[in-house]
Amino acid sequence: MLDLDTQSVGSDDEDAPASKVRAYNALLQSFQQESDEPRRKRRKIEETPKEDESDEEEIDGSDAASEIQDGAQDEDQAQEDGDSDAEIDQDEVADDEDEDPTDPFDQHFANPEANGLAQHIKSVTDNQWRSAKLKATKEDSATSLTLSLPESAPASAQKSLKSVSQLNLKQRILEPATKHIGTFSELGRELAPSIYTYQDVLCGARTVENASELRHMAALHALNHVYKGRDRVLKNNSRLAAADGDADLELRDQGFTRPKVLVLLETRSAAAKYVEALIALCEPEQQENKKRFEDGFVLDELKFGGEGDSHPADFLELFEGNDDNDFRLGVKFTRKTMKFFSQFYASDIILASPLGLRRIIEHTDPKKADSDYLSSIEICIVDQADAMLMQNWDHVDFVFQHLNLQPKDAHGCDFSRVRNYYLDGQAKHLRQTIIFSAYIAPELNRLYNAHMLNIAGKAKLAPFYPGVIGDMDLEGMKQTFSRYDSSSPPTDPDARFKYFNTAVLPSLLRVPKPSDGGPGILLFIPSYLDFVRVRNYFANSNETQHISFGAISEYTPVPDQRRARSHFLSGRHSVLLYTGRAHHFHRLRLKGVRRVVFYALPENPIFYTEIAKGFLGTMVAEGKLEASEAGVRSIFSKWDGLRLERIVGTKRVGAMLRDKGGDTFDFV
């Protein structure tokens, strides 16, 4: 690792570490074209500003490279130059004060060397963290907040933040923030100290009810960061112009490229909600390409949510609008204007789905594949991460692997203005990552450990779960949890399959067939890979050839779904295999269910309630099944602790994972 200090890389000081000079020179030599402008001098614009070509191109068309063209960089710089001097009014000048040592923006980004940057990076890279749990304020809505700081960071109590008036906000967004956010909720008070001091945040307590507040808090932070960075650059432009090439004036205030905020979202409707929050908080005088944005991201009519609609609230939030998950959008801010569909290198904020971003990073044409616009991301926001878990989480990992890499081309960068930690390849240690999810899964924990390496620290918030097994309201119905031995996560699928075949399946098939239908065994399988394995076993094994079964996965066509459901209800099929993603995308209401077997517990505890209570409860309510005849059986291992906790409750989960007196737990 390069040794860092406050010395400018490339300085003529003979005491400057040679490794830093070599790293800087190697970076410059890797670019195809180097700047011919004198060092420390403001880059001039030689071409007449042009209209963005992207305005005439479809952003999601086959030529995805149109979103990231470099030509917009010159147009953007010219626009900023026009904003920098004569057009800035006195209020804006007053708002752009000198560096404030108490401002988190200045502490974390503008002058981190003054706060022990090298020591903090060493602690993080050596995985030396100091963690402490902060207790919740109320028992009835308790959460567990764990704060981790680098070992080299001084211990300090978090500042209590109750409202936006206590934040270091740009004056122009203070009034809108007060109007749209004002006082934080209890959850907001727990998260605000970490969010607004640039610490990483993993929040596993997102709900439909608090989603709007979390979205506005994140949007406010992103907007404030963009404005502070932009105004600092404009002010330094003026200082450089007034200095007239003074060689002693060095102002490092930028990254390699302009985009500073990346917002990863699962659907276009979610992106539309974030855009609405940004508009409400910045109140732009002009909105360029707004109609085009609405046409591409907002549906005129909702597909669900009408009168009599019985879909749950979390399903409606995700799918009622435009649920397309292949998109990307650049947004650019100037003093008066918010522009949609700006090219990536001319954008301040990029909103995209993981799939949409990956498709342009891995473009089939090597000349069009590019990720340099992610080299200078300073805030990454991931909202509804639980929905991404139900898609392909590999897309999210792929995007994070391409954040804050050294760019392959210069893209018109003025290296005399680039901050030293960018040149040293340490930008990932200053990037803030904010993740909102309905729950915390192992994939999120892996991302937390591998990619959330912020020198400011990181906070993880999880609720105290009472457990959903008490919400069944079906007195006399038994819920059985069976634990099996598993030596490691890689071997867990094999151990689960063996336990199911030897201990669960035989006992199920011994139950006598009811006179008014089939056994009605619903086998819920969260993982598609496990589903394929079990389906093949039912179809090809000698032990199960006498069992009639149907199967519904996320890939099953609607006619085949209907056929499988009909055969299951009539008793023609004794067993119905049903995947977690099929339930996530369709929320089918299956009839004829008499017993439920969870091959693995669902990540989303709502699924447990909807299947165990909804499907079985309907049969009991209609008088077609006695509660004592109904039953739910779930199998789990010690690696399923997070899923189990959400279903049986935080107080019970520890004993169920460690109990040596038995491996079966019954709840009635």
Residues of the chain with pLDDT > 70, as a percent, come to 81
pTM of the model: 0.87
- pLDDT of 157: 73
Highest mean pLDDT among 77-86, 216-225, 473-482, 500-509: 216-225
Residue where the block lists tokens 């009034």: 175
Rounded to whole angstroms, the Cα distance separating 334 from 78 reads 12
Examine the pLDDT at 382 and tell me if it is beyond 70.
Answer: yes
* Per-residue DSSP letter, 160: P
- pLDDT of 154: 85
Cα 358 to the chain's mean position, in Å? 15
Mean pLDDT of all residues in 488-516 = 83
Rounded to whole angstroms, the Cα distance separating 597 from 378 reads 45
Mean pLDDT of all residues in 32-48 = 38
- pLDDT of 378: 98
CB-CB contact of 569 with 594 (8 Å): no
Say if residue 18 is exposed, middle or buried (CB neighbours under 10 Å; 0-12, 13-18, 19+).
Answer: exposed
CB-CB contact of 161 with 199 (8 Å): no
Question: For the chain, what is the mean pLDDT?
Answer: 84
Highest mean pLDDT among 35-39, 236-240, 260-264: 260-264
- pLDDT of 232: 93
Of 525, 526, 556, 557, the residue nearest 538 (C-alpha): 525
Mean pLDDT of all residues in 63-87 = 46
pLDDT band at 141 (very low <50, low <70, confident <90, very high): low
Mean pLDDT lowest among 27-41, 267-281, 437-451, 542-556: 27-41
Rounded to whole angstroms, the Cα distance separating 251 from 59 reads 35
- pLDDT of 116: 86
- pLDDT of 55: 37
- pLDDT of 83: 44
Examine the pLDDT at 508 and tell me if it is beyond 80.
Answer: no
Domains and CATH numbers, the chain: 31-46+64-150+159-244+256-300+310-463 (3.40.50.300), 469-667 (3.40.50.300)
- pLDDT of 66: 58
pLDDT band at 98 (very low <50, low <70, confident <90, very high): low
Rounded to whole angstroms, the Cα distance separating 565 from 555 reads 15
- pLDDT of 77: 46
- pLDDT of 68: 64
The gap between the terminal CA atoms of the chain, to the nearest Å, is 58
Q: Which three-class secondary structure string do you get for 552-609?
A: ECCCCCHHHHHHHHHHHHHCCCCEEEEEHHHHHHHCCCCCCCCEEEECCCCCCHHHHH
pLDDT band at 364 (very low <50, low <70, confident <90, very high): confident
3-state secondary structure of 389: helix
Mean pLDDT lowest among 231-245, 493-507, 523-537, 611-625: 611-625
Beta-carbon contacts of 534 under 8 Å, excluding residues fewer than 6 positions away, are 497, 500, 523, 525, 577, 599
Mean pLDDT lowest among 202-211, 528-537, 540-549, 564-573: 540-549
Residue where the block lists tokens 């700006």: 342
pLDDT, greater one: 360 or 110: 360
- Longest Cα separation, the chain: 94
Rounded to whole angstroms, the Cα distance separating 64 from 628 reads 59
pLDDT in tens, 113-138: 777 899 999 999 999 999 998 765 44
Mean pLDDT lowest among 86-100, 118-132, 270-284, 609-623: 86-100
- pLDDT of 31: 54
Of 116, 220, 115, 128, the residue nearest 172 (C-alpha): 220
- pLDDT of 67: 64
- pLDDT of 136: 53
pLDDT, greater one: 71 or 102: 102
Examine the pLDDT at 6 and tell me if it is beyond 70.
Answer: no
Residues of the chain with pLDDT > 90, as a percent, come to 64
3-state secondary structure of 354: helix
Mean pLDDT of all residues in 93-118 = 77
Rounded to whole angstroms, the Cα distance separating 531 from 579 reads 7
Beta strands in 354-442 (DSSP E): 379-382, 432-436
Paired with 287 in beta bridges are: 338
Examine the pLDDT at 567 and tell me if it is beyond 60.
Answer: yes
Mean pLDDT of all residues in 330-356 = 96
pLDDT in tens, 268-294: 999 999 999 999 999 999 999 999 999
- Residue 622, φ and ψ in degrees, nearest 5: -85, 0
CB-CB contact of 145 with 134 (8 Å): yes
